[in-house]
Structure 1
């Protein structure tokens, strides 16, 4: 009897966690980019940030997800620490809304949500309809799991052994707090732990004070996950999760001695044992938000002193050569920018090498590494771009202006190459890995040869950018025709294998053609370095003469409109 009750209880908890996961993943798929954009726009002051945290977490139904999203923003410098902390205070309050909603008897809505969700997911023609169907199914499963938890606990309500076990586990408030902390940490969700506590309270397995201690533990445990999942070695990147953890610990220290009078107060207002945990969860988070929202500036300064910004030499996204030479000689500053751009080229070259290995060997680990390197390339591109634009605020002669354009052009093209590798080639690699497909021996050799030529030309382009060698630039442009012929020949050979009925070629046909297309796109970006060198030497004078960049003439200053044209790749090199 006891084993069956325990098994049913674990099954109900698992169903609850899966429902939470479906709701969260459905919301992120439907509105994830909009939520990120919304957060980046509204974080102007702590009070607006607090309100945004309440709303976003009420939608996502996970303060952990909000914390992880904000941690990435603060780590990249997009969001200040004070508004980010305010969002987390709001996120903690936002988790109380879903708990309050589920504390009422809403079991009648479970089958309705499940039916509507399955219909939308199966029959929906638009992606957002399918995603909202996923959300509806998740909510239905959550409500169903609560019903199952109550039904599972009902047979054990009169079993003295079960009551003694729960009484022993939750008899001491400190022990109950630790159990709640462990449960929330394992489940990655304070909501799931509090809903389980509500079910135990409804079945009279835990008395009011231990129930409130479990809620305290749930709030504490949910703040540990973002801290453990912050993988950066830089202590500054842990300021936000540490700040949230300090808030939770302070709340536990404040409320733990007051659990008995607080329980009596809540029961006097609302005697329903199911809503006891939900009401205390809301009270706890509102009080802690009020206590921390005003001194948030001083709290942030304390965290900055406690966790200083330490740059790691292993972080590829940190510029190494962009010093303070902007205010000195522009030619020196542009040389620094060129060195950083060459470093970008080295990273992109390693990405291109790993990409083909990941595709051919079905190596999922390499796919992840390539994606991480693309993030580093994006960061370096942003740093080089802003650095060169700052250099152009002063007067430049024509040679320096042309060099600035060359640096910007190459940095932009390298960033585009990184995106093609990450967003296109690695997506194809994931499809191949998921389906466990393999190229034919001939097809693999053709892809490897095409990849080798593109990679050799990337290295040649870096050499042209560094030396301005015109002979190499002419050679690189002539190679464009050979690359087109190689792509055409590889496609013809692939079609011939399809006509022969080769199973491995049929299974990988789309992947094969798409990889050739993406490698050719990469080669087009590679060739931009040759155009820049030949243009500087006057060998492309048959093209319409371009006026000198406006920053060459101090009397005709470089404007934001001009910078937009450069950054969007509209300026010819």
Structure 2
């Protein structure tokens, strides 16, 4: 029993080490890996090579599938090209299996020691996150050695030897078991390495080991489909197409296991090498043979999962992809895109508000007030989505972006509330009472409204691009808008002294309205503060230095 527990603990350690490496690499290089993929997939062969390189680094074809799926969902990459990336990604994981099959156990204590020192001393910095990667690599190498030692003891037991002798190869059962293990462990690489180690120790026959390897490959395809099950249609198409390739490849290689053992095994040496090279051969043949069928498979997948009608509101692309949460940089981008959609809804409310004032359209006012519920729902969804992103997994820039998104969505939500109150006031104090603004008053409101729309669009640009120059321009607009609001309040009071009937009737509404527009503008301009603060372009105190002079006058008086 003790040796069995040791084996199970070693397997768990192998899975955990694989997880540390995958998440650590994504935390350190996540954004850069996305840029590499985005720039390297002009053609299908180039896309496959990019998939090989990125997946060899992060050691997870599932993680690559999530990144590529987001590109397809954004319309940046065509589905056939994305499927070519996934064919390369599978080759990348099999290459890493070959590397780990060598005896690298001597590196384990070095990686763990250096990794722990780096992680503890600089935990919040990229060096600390890279230390996490080294810890994961060290644990993987240590786990492989522990698995080999534990199985070597277990297989010497008479009962286990009798059980192994009674095993007969059932390829379908082996594929099923391998697929289940890959899904449960969230890593086909870990299962392939475990299988290679068990085969080397004699714990499983070679034909059974190859069946488990085929199942692990199939399991990685199933895992991608399960992880993206709640994502958008476009994001789900890539894992589904990859699963189709896996099914075709496994079905074909099931009949080649015997030929591999008969004709290829004598030239490969150690059992572990036989297993990992079979895994590598499987994925290389898959990539070479199926590369020409990516367009056909993409067509089949698009028929199975047709895209939603984006002309309908309910069919708009929702960017808060749950599957992206495992990649913090990708999740931050998803949240930013959804925040921009929230701002689009607010812009619709602001534009429609002026039409309500001009045309006294009660029906439009009601529709616009309902949009505030949409703004509130988007705010809640974005906030909840961001809270599910591990702050420890974010770099300094990503953490700052996280805060910017929260601040932006809060401002948009508050603007929506103000617009809703303005619409209610217009309905109650103007439309239902049959009152109208004076011609001059309406012109002033239109001027403030036009500036407000321009500032909102500039604020959205600042949020999207982080331009310091645009942020400074937006902050300058805040002062101009404040001065304009004061001037128009003064001219309105002048019209009251002239006994202008329309100005008298709408005086309260007019003053409240231009004050509310100023408040909206303040929320918009506050988008600039985080950008200027991070760039060091924001003064710590904007108060004039009048205190020393006052103190001097006091001392003179004394």
Contact 2:28–2:129 (CA under 8 A) maintained in structure 1: yes
**Distance in 2 (alpha carbons) for counterparts of 1:106 and 1:262:** 27
2:116 alignment counterpart: 118
In structure 2, how many angstroms separate the alpha carbons of the residues matched to 1:244 and 1:203? 33
Between 134-143 and 455-464, report the one with greater CA deviation. Answer: 455-464
Of residues 301, 317, 325 in structure 1, which corresponds to 2:299? 301
Aligned to 2:338: 376
State TM-score, norm by structure 2: 0.61
Tell me how far 1:430 sits from its aligned partner.
Answer: 8.5
Distance verdict in 2 for CA 1:243–1:540, change over 3 Å: farther
Partner of 1:230: 228
The 1:35–1:425 alpha-carbon spacing in structure 2 relative to 1, beyond 3 Å, is closer
Q: CA RMSD for the aligned pairs?
A: 4.8
Which of 69, 72, 78 lines up with 2:70 in the alignment? Answer: 72
Superposed CA offset, 1:338-391 (max 9, x none): xxxxxx9xx9xxxxxxxxxxxxxxxxxxxxx99988653435668999xxxxxx
For 1:252, the equivalent position in structure 2 comes to: 250
Per-residue Cα deviation, 1:277-326 (whole angstroms, up to 9, x for no partner): 10000000000001111232222222222321134999868189xxxxxx
Do 2:48 and 2:86's aligned partners in 1 also have CA atoms closer than 8 Å?
A: yes
Structure 1 spans left out of the alignment, 5+ residues = 321-343, 348-368, 386-398, 400-410, 432-450, 478-524, 543-567
How far residue 265 of structure 1 moved from its aligned partner, in angstroms, is: 2.9
Question: Which of 1 and 2 has greater Rg?
Answer: 2
Quote how far apart the aligned CAs of 1:163 are: 3.2
> What is the aligned partner in structure 2 of residue 42 from structure 1?
40
Cα gap change, 1:185 to 1:164, in 2 (>3 Å): farther
Measure the CA separation in 2 of the matches of 1:131 and 1:203.
35
Counterpart Cα distance in 2 of 1:254 and 1:424? 45
**One of 64, 75, 84 as aligned partner of 1:86:** 84
What do the CA deviations read for 1:423-468 (whole angstroms, capped 9, x no partner)? 799669989xxxxxxxxxxxxxxxxxxx999966642235669989
Query: C-alpha distance in 2, partners of 1:181/1:193?
Result: 9
Partner of 1:163: 161
Hey, what does 1:507 align to over in structure 2?
none
Residue 140 (structure 1) shift: 0.3
Task: State the distance in 2 between where 1:93 and 1:27 align.
Answer: 18
In 2: Cα distance, 1:104 partner to 1:428 partner: 38
Provide Cα deviations, 1:227-263, integer angstroms capped at 9, x if missing partner: 0121347544422111111111111111111101112
Contact 1:75–1:237 (CA<8 Å) still a contact in 2? Answer: yes
1:119-165 CA-partner distances (Å, limit 9, x unpaired): 11122377111011111110000000001001111112222322344
Q: Distance in 1 between matches of 2:82 and 2:410?
A: 46
Change in 2 beyond 3 A, CA 1:465/1:247: farther
Aligned residue in 1 for 2:196: 198
**Equivalent pair of 2:229/2:236 in contact (CA under 8 Å):** no
1:8-31 deviation per Cα after TM superposition (whole angstroms, max 9, x unaligned): 111011100111111111111111
Cα drift, residue 36 of structure 1 = 1.4
Aligned to 1:460: 418
Residue 174 of structure 2 contacts residue 215 of structure 2 at CA under 8 Å; is this kept in 1?
Answer: yes
The SS at the match of 2:203 is coil
- Aligned equivalents of 2:2 and 2:186: distance in 1? 25
Which residue is equivalent to 2:102? Answer: 104
Assess if the C-alpha contact under 8 Å between 1:464 and 1:533 holds in 2: no
Give me the whole-angstrom Cα distance separating, in 1, the residues matched to 2:417 and 2:73: 32
CA contact (8 A) 2:196 2:272 kept: yes
Is the 1:19–1:137 Cα contact (8 Å) retained in structure 2? yes
| Residues in 2 aligned to 1:142 and 1:309: alpha-carbon distance in whole angstroms | 41
Q: How does 1:527-542 map to 2 (within 5 A)?
A: 539=488
Match of 1:59 in 2: 57
Partner residue in 1 for 2:130: 132
- Offset at residue 43 of structure 1 (A): 2.1
The CA distance in 1 between the partners of 2:416 and 2:478, in whole Å, is 9
Contact 2:171 / 2:208 at 8 angstroms: preserved in 1?
yes
Which deviates more from structure 2 when the two are superposed, residues 307-316 or residues 124-133?
307-316
Which whole-Å deviations, capped at 9, do the CAs of 1:537-573 have from their partners, x for residues lacking one? 995999xxxxxxxxxxxxxxxxxxxxxxxxx99xxxx
Compared CA separation, residues 210 and 46, structure 1 to 2 (3 A) = same
Correspondence list, 1:478-497, <5 A: none
1:512-560 per-residue CA deviation (whole Å, 9 max, x = no partner) reads: xxxxxxxxxxxxx9xx999989989995999xxxxxxxxxxxxxxxxxx
Q: Report the equivalent of 2:5.
A: 7
Q: Secondary structure at the match of 1:257?
A: coil
8 Å Cα contact 2:62-2:223 kept in structure 1: yes
| 1:26 counterpart residue number | 24
Q: TM-score, normalised by structure 1?
A: 0.60
Looking at both structures, which has the greater relative contact order when contacts are Cα pairs under 8 Å and sequence separation is at least 6?
2
Q: Where does the alignment leave 5 or more consecutive residues of structure 2 unmatched?
A: 321-330, 348-357, 359-370, 392-408, 431-436, 449-473, 492-526, 529-558
Aligned to 2:153, what secondary structure does the other structure show? coil
Contact 1:220 1:249 in 2 (8 A): yes
